[in-house]
Amino acid sequence: MSFLLDLFNRPIIFVGGKGGVGKTTSAACIAVRLSTEKKKTLIISTDPAHSLGDALDRPLSGEITSITPYLDAIELDTQKIVDMHFKQIEDNVRQYTNPDMFPKVQEFLKLSKQAPGAEEAAILEAICTYLVRFQDWGYDHIIFDTAPTGHTLRLLTLPEMMQAWTDGLIAQQQRQQKMREAASRLTSAAPVEQAKSLSSQRWLQAQEILLKRRQLFSQARDILHDAQRCAIVLVLIPEILPFEETKRAVSQLNQIHLPCAGLIINQVIDQNQADAFWQNRAKRQLQVLSMINEEFASLSKHFVALQDKDIRGLEALEALLA
């Protein structure tokens, strides 16, 4: 329990792991526990195959829903976020695009929605906004119920990549602006000065947007790397496939300097079994538990026994971590 008590001191908690090991239940348990301590908590599902509403036994949508006075929840609506993301881009581009060219720009943006990475970029920006601003919105804690491991690792590395990409765009725009200014000095004055002024205005508008995005990604990156504020928890069950996937995930997190804060091991079978089938299952689990303790000796762990019923609703979720 000391691991969980330490975990509860972090304002930001990401819960990840292989599909089907109880990530959503674990994330919901943590959120409910924090809320019972009167810590205003927001739990967000980033998994396209949402089940957070099922765990909380409440209907959720793409809008923040109040569950209790101290607990809010949301299942991110990917399509809605993508539509809003591209609408914002369209509104920004409209300000510094020739009206005659704008229909072509709209057509391009419509096609861009389907481009590889477009959805990922939109979701990332939304998640970074929650990361950076949740305390401004009155929350003490934010819990991310993430998609299976590979998606989570990708998500955690993207802010740094997107900041570098945005830096590249800004540098390119600055080079182009210098070239335009140099070219303008070689041509006649009045029309060129007018065009130069319009070009500079458009450039400043574009630069302002890019700088805001860079600041958002930079803040998100710094938060993710702050071990006092942010914790990454991996969930697994004592079976060989989740064990191997968790081993890879811990290694990859270490490589990107985002160490795992600890493990939650779910569905642990009581070793005192009368039935032969459950005796064999418990024996096999004991072998994998030994592997977990050896491989992850330096990590804190919390073990959760296999339950005889589904964990659903606030009362059941609260009891699981009692």
Residue 285 lies in a domain: yes
Residue 110 lies in a domain: no
Residue 101 lies in a domain: no
Domain count of the chain? 1
Instruction: Let me know: does 288 contact 244? Beta carbons within 8 Å.
Output: no
CATH number at residue 28: 3.40.50.300
Residue 65 lies in a domain: yes
Residue 151 lies in a domain: yes
Residue 214 lies in a domain: no
Residue 245 lies in a domain: yes
In a structure prediction context, what are the per-residue pLDDT tens digits for the chain, which is 322 residues long? 568 888 899 999 999 998 899 999 999 999 999 999 999 999 999 887 789 999 999 999 899 999 999 999 999 998 888 888 888 878 877 776 777 777 887 787 788 777 777 777 788 888 889 999 999 999 999 999 987 655 666 666 666 666 666 666 666 666 666 665 666 666 555 555 554 555 566 666 767 777 787 788 888 888 988 999 999 999 999 999 999 999 999 998 998 888 899 999 999 999 888 899 999 999 999 999 999 999 999 999 999 999 989 999 999 999 998 7
* Domain carrying residue 273: 1-78+123-157+226-321
Question: How far apart (Å, rounded) are the C-alpha atoms in residues 282 and 238?
Answer: 10
Which stretches does DSSP call E strand in 197-300?
Answer: 230-236, 262-268
Roughly how many angstroms between the first and final C-alpha of the chain, as a whole number?
9
Instruction: Let me know: does 321 contact 233? Beta carbons within 8 Å.
Output: no
**In sequence order, which residues have a C-beta less than 8 Å from that of residue 63 and are 6 or more positions away?**
74
Residue 104 lies in a domain: no
